[in-house]
Amino acid sequence: MYEKESLLPQPQTAVSRGRSRSLWALCAQITLFCLLIKISLDAFFSTRERHQPSEVLAKCPQVKPLFPSRASPRLSKMDDYIGSPKFLNETVARMAGAIQTPSESYDDLGPIGEDARWDIMFDFAAYLEKTFPLIRRTLTLERVNTHGLLYTWQGSDETLSPTVLMAHQDVVPVAESTVGQWTHPPFSGFFDGRYIWGRGSSDCKNNLIGIMEAVELLIDAGFEPKRTLILSFGFDEEISGAQGAGHLAKALISRYGKGGAAVIVDEGAGTASIWGSTFALPGVAEKGYIDVEIIVRMPGGHSSIPPAHNGIGVMSELITMIEANPYEPHLYSDNPYIDLLECGAAHSPHFPSKLKKLLPSHRVKACSKKDNLALEAAKAGDGVKYLFTTSVAPDIISGGVKSNALPERTTVLVDHRVNVGEHPSDVQAKLVKLAEQVAEKYNLTVHAFNDEPEIPRSITLKSAGRVLEPAPVTPTSAGETTPYSVLSGTTRALYGEKLLVAPGIMTGNTDTKYYWELTRHIFRYNPGWDPGQEGLGNVHTVDEKISASTHADGVKWYSLFIRNMDEADLS
C-alpha cells in the first residue's frame, strides 16, 4: 500500500508536465500566428499603399475652393472693402471697444439679478447695439435668461434649416496680482500696429465681433438671405455655460426641433503647421468630462500623538496611485485624429515613416492589446497625446483645520477629460478599484458614486458637477455638398489650395455641448489665420493678444461662409 501510494503521484506529474508543455506550445503557436498575421497585414497594406496612391489620397479628399455664385456690385465692393487698410483700422477700433468692457465671469457668481457682477453684461450688450446699428434695425434680438443674446436674420425660404453662428460674451477674469505683468493693460484693447492686446482678444471676442462685422457688412451690401441666420451668444462659457448656452440651446431646440439646424460654428481649433503641411483643423469632436471628488474620513485627535497614517497621508497615497496608473493612448475608430493622420500620410512631405507604416493596418489590430499607432503618435508630446488619451489631473486639495489637530476630513478634486471611444463610467470604475486597494490596506469603507452619507473611517467618491460623455462626432463627408464641404471650401477659397483641411478634436469643451440635439453638424473653429502668429494667442493668461490680420480674415471668412451656406443645396 505504501509503495502504491508513493508511486501514484508520479504518472500525474508526468501528465501535468505534458499538459504544461502543450499549453506552452499552444501559446507559442498563437503568438507565431499573430506575428505572421501582423507581418502579412503590414506587407499587404504597405504594398497596396505603394501601388495604389489614389486610395491613400481618397482617404483625405480636399474640397475645391468655394466662392458664392450670387454676386452684385455692392457685394463686390464689400469684399474689396474688407481687404482694405481702412476697414482694418475700423474693425481694430471696434474690437478694442469690446475688450474695454471687462465682461469677466467668476466661478462663484450668484443668481442673475442678485449678484451685481453679472451687470457688466448689460454694458457689453449696449456696446454691440451702439456699434452695429444695421443689425439692430434688421435682425430680431431676443434676450434669453437676461443676458443671452439671440439674433435672428429671417430667411426668405422657410424650408431651409438655419445656419447658427456662436460665440460667448464673457472672458476669464484677470487676477489682480498679474496685472503688472501685462505688456499693455489687460482691458485696454491696445493696438501696437500688429496685435490687439487684452483679455478676450483671442477667447473669444474676436469671433463675436467678427460675426457681427460680417453681418453688418452684408446688410449694408444689400444681401438678403434665403436661409435663416441665427447668432447665439452666451455669457458664461468660461464657467460651464449653463446660464447662457444652456438656455439659448433650449430656446432654439424648442423653436426648430431636434436636428432643426443645418450647421453650427462656434469657437474652437484653428490652423497649424504639421509634417511640412498647413492644416485648418475644425473641431468635429470633443472629449468627455467628469470631475470626481474623493473624500477620506479618518479619526482626528491631537497632533502630538499621531497614528502611523492620518487622512492626509492616506489621501496622498491614493493620489500617488491614481497618478501611477494613467490611461494609455488609444485611437478608437471614430477619433478624428485618425483622419488627420490619414491626411498627413496622403499629403504631407514629412509625415513620419513609423506612423505611415502603422496607419494602414490600425483598424485591424490582430491579436494586439496595445495601440501601437496611438503610442507612436503620442511621442509628439502631451498636446498631441491627450487628443486620444483620457487625462487625469488632481486639481484641488484640502484637509485639516489646525496645526495641532489631526485632519478628520481630507478632499481632492480630480479632473478627467474622457477620450473619444471611452466613457465617464470607465473613469468611475477605475477610481473605485484604486480606492478599494487603499481602503483594504487601512481598513476603510468605500462609498462609490451613490447617495450614502459619509461615515468615519471611509473613502467616498462622487461626481462633482455635470458628467459629460464625449460629443457626437460630426460627419465629415466631402463627396457631395455637406456642411463640412461648405466649411472646407470656404476656408480654401480664402486661404488658397495649399492650405489643407482635416477634421480636428478639442481636448476641452465649448458651449456646443448644449446644442448636440440641434444638429449633427457642429464645428468648433476659429477661422482667422495669420501665418506669423504661432500658438493660441496666450488664451487665459498674461498678454492675451490677436493679430489684426487674423481678426480681419475672420470677418472675411464669416462673410463668405454665410453666403456659401445660403446657396448650399444640402438635400
Annotated catalytic residues are: 170, 237
| Mode of pairing for the β-strands spanning 458-463 and 288-297 | antiparallel
φ/ψ of 100, rounded to 5, equals -70, -10
Whether the ω angle into residue 34 lies within 30 degrees of 0, i.e. cis, is: no
Distance of CA 259 to the CA centre of its chain: 21
Cβ burial of 310 (10 Å; 0-12, 13-18, 19+) is buried
**Cα distances (angstroms) measured from residue 437 to each of 143, 390, 459:** 52, 22, 11
What Cα–Cα distance (Å) separates residue 529 from each residue in 166, 485, 536? 18, 19, 11
d(CA 193, CA 207): 20
Match 442678485 to its residue by C-alpha cell: 114
**Cβ–Cβ < 8 Å for 290, 280:** no
- Dist. CA 353–CA 360, nearest whole Å: 12
How many whole angstroms separate alpha carbon 522 and alpha carbon 511?
11
Residue 293 β-bridge partners? 413, 462
| Cα angle 175, 463, 468; round to 5 | 80
When computed from its CA atoms, the radius of gyration of the chain, rounded to whole angstroms, is 29
**Rounded distance between C-alpha atoms, residue 108 and residue 173, angstroms:** 12
* 167-187 core/surface letters (b: 16 or more CB in 10 A; e: else): bbbbbbbbeeeeeeebebebb
Name the phi and psi angles at 156, rounded to 5.
-80, -20
* Inter-CA distances, 486 with 66, 70, 405, 479, 519, Å: 7, 15, 64, 11, 16
10 Å CB burial of residue 146 (0-12, 13-18, 19+) is: middle
Residue pair 164/261 in contact (Cβ under 8 Å)? The answer is yes
Strand arrangement of the beta sheet that strand 271-274 belongs to: 271-274, 277-280, 500-501
Query: Exposed, middle or buried, 130 (CB in 10 Å: 0-12/13-18/19+)?
Result: exposed
Is the separation of the CB atoms in 230 and 152 below 8 Å?
Answer: yes
